Amino acid sequence: MLHTLLLALVALAALGAIGCGSDQAVVDPAQAAGESIAATTALASSPSSVASPGPTTSASPAASSELAGWSNRRLAAQLVFCSVPATSPLAGKRYARMGVGGIVILGGGARSSIGGDLAAVLRAAPNGVKPFIASDEEGGQVQRLRDVVYPLPSARVQGTWSTSRTSATAKDYGARLRKLHVSVVFGPVADLDVPGKYMSSLDRCFSSRPDAVGRHVVAWVEGLRASRVLSTVKHWPGHGWASDTHSGAARVPSLSVLRRHDMVPFEQAFDARVPLVMVGHLRSKGLTGDETPASLSKSALAYLRGRTGDETVIITDSLSMAATTTAIGIKLPASAVRALRAGADLALFASGDPEPVIDAVTAAIKSGRLPRAQAEEKVLRVLELKRKAGLAPAAQ
C-alpha cells in the first residue's frame, strides 16, 4: 500500500537524521522555526500528503435516518467528554443522565468499589447509549487506577522492553480495566522524548527515536484491542518539544519537521487502526497558524482527518488547559464549540460542569454555527465506536 511504503521511507529518513549511536533527538527547533511557510505548504500539498476535503456540510443518508429523531441537545451532549474524580465516580451518574459522550476518571485514590460505581454510572445513561469511561493509564506518574489494578512502570522504562512484553502487558492490564467497566485508555503516548522538555521531565515518552516509539505505541494499541479496550494515541501532532500546555501556549517545530520525526509514530498507529487520536494544544508553523493550537485549528484537523481516514474518532486534549482558554482569551464552552467546528469529534475537558458546555454546543447547532449535518456526522462516528465497545445498540 502506498501509504505504508511512504511511512517506511519517512521512518528511514528520520533514523538517518537522528543517528544510530544516540537515543537523543537532535532536531533544532530554532532552525525549524525559521523554515518558510512556502516550504511547509508545499510539503502539506505534496502527493505524499493525503488531501482532506475538510468538514462536510451534509450528513450521510445513514446519519440522517438514524439521528433524525435526535434533538439538537442530545446530539450536543454526545460530543462532550467530561470528568469525575477517581475517589467519587458516582458523580458521573448525573452526567450519564445528560447523555454525555464520555467521562474520564481523574486523580488518584480510586477504591476497590470503583467497578461497581462505574457500572451504576453506565446504567444511568438513557436510550441505551452509554458514555465511554476513560482513564489515563500510561504508567509511571500518569496512572489513575494503579491502586485497584497494579502499578505500571513509566513509558521510559517500558521503552526498554521488547514489544512482545509491552503488548502482553497492555493485554493483561486492559482485561483488568474492562472488568472495571473502563472502555477507553487515554494512551499510549506517541510523543518523542526531548530531554529538558515537559513530557520528558515526567518520563512519559518511550524513546527519542520515532521508530522505537512507534513500535511500542502499536504494541499498546494491539494489546488493548485484544482485551476489547479502545486506545487513544496522543498528543498529535507531537508534544515532545512543547512546554506545559496546562499553563499556557506551546509551540512545536514546523510541519516539515514534524512530518519527518514527531508524526512518524502517529502514522504507525493509524496504520494499526488506532480507534481514537487525541489532539494537543500545540502551535506549529505551516500546520496550525501562529496563534491557533492544533485542537482548535481547521487546517490542522483537516490534515489529521486526511491521515486517519473516516472512522477514527478525534478527541481534543483537555480544553480546560490554559493553552485553549487563557492563551486564546475564551472560556471553556466557547473553546469546545470552536474545537468541534474545526473538526474534532469529541470536546474533552478536565474540570467544570458539562451543562454549560452542552448548552453552548446546542446553541451552535441550533444557530448553524455548527451545522447539524456536521454534528450528526460526528455523532455517527462516535456511535459506531461505541457499538464496537458494547456501549450502544445496533443501528436501526
Mean pLDDT by 10 residues, the chain (396 residues): 40 34 34 35 34 43 78 98 98 98 97 98 97 98 97 98 98 98 98 98 98 98 98 98 96 97 98 98 94 97 97 98 94 97 98 96 98 98 97 90
- Residue 31's pLDDT is 37
At 2, which helix (H) or strand (E)?
helix 2-18
Tell me the CB-side half-sphere exposure of residue 92, using CA atoms within 13 A.
33
Dihedral sign for Cα 134, 139, 145, 148, please.
positive
Dihedral sign for Cα 176, 158, 143, 192, please.
negative
Dihedral class, residue 109 (left if φ above 0, else alpha if ψ from -120 to 50, else beta)? left
In a domain, 88, yes or no: yes
Residue 113 burial (CB count, 10 A): 11
In a domain, 179, yes or no: yes
- Please list the alpha-helical segments (H only) found in 79-228: 92-98, 114-123, 155-158, 163-179, 198-201, 210-226
Nearest to 266 by CA among 294, 300, 304, 292: 304
**d(C-alpha 15, C-alpha 183), whole Å:** 35
Nearest to 239 by CA among 227, 251, 255, 221: 251
Phi, psi at residue 49, to the nearest 5°? -90, 145
CATH number for the domain harbouring residue 163: 3.20.20.300
In a domain, 38, yes or no: no
- Residue 59's pLDDT is 52
- Residue 60's pLDDT is 56
Total structural domains within the chain: 1
**d(C-alpha 101, C-alpha 349), whole Å:** 12
Q: Is residue 137 classed as helix, strand or coil in its secondary structure?
A: strand
Pairing of strands 230-236, 250-251: unpaired
Distance of CA 23 to the CA centre of its chain: 26
Domain containing 261 equals 2-19+60-388
**d(C-alpha 207, C-alpha 203), whole Å:** 10
**d(C-alpha 206, C-alpha 54), whole Å:** 32
**d(C-alpha 193, C-alpha 274), whole Å:** 21
Residue of 136, 193, 203, 317 marked active site? 317
Residue of 3, 147, 244, 246 marked active site? 246
Share in percent of the chain as helix, strand, coil (round to 5): 45, 10, 45
Phi, psi at residue 106, to the nearest 5°? -125, 155
In a domain, 35, yes or no: no
β-partners of residue 154 are none
In a domain, 395, yes or no: no
In a domain, 293, yes or no: yes
**d(C-alpha 122, C-alpha 274), whole Å:** 24
In a domain, 30, yes or no: no
Catalytic: 317?
yes
- Residue 41's pLDDT is 34
Phi, psi at residue 355, to the nearest 5°? -60, -45
DSSP 132: E
- Residue 16's pLDDT is 34
Residue 268 burial (CB count, 10 A): 25
In a domain, 393, yes or no: no
pTM of the model: 0.86
Catalytic: 246?
yes
**d(C-alpha 93, C-alpha 89), whole Å:** 8
Q: DSSP letter string over 213-266?
A: HHHHHHHHHHHHHHTT-EEEEEEET--TT---TTTS-EE---HHHHHHTTTHHH
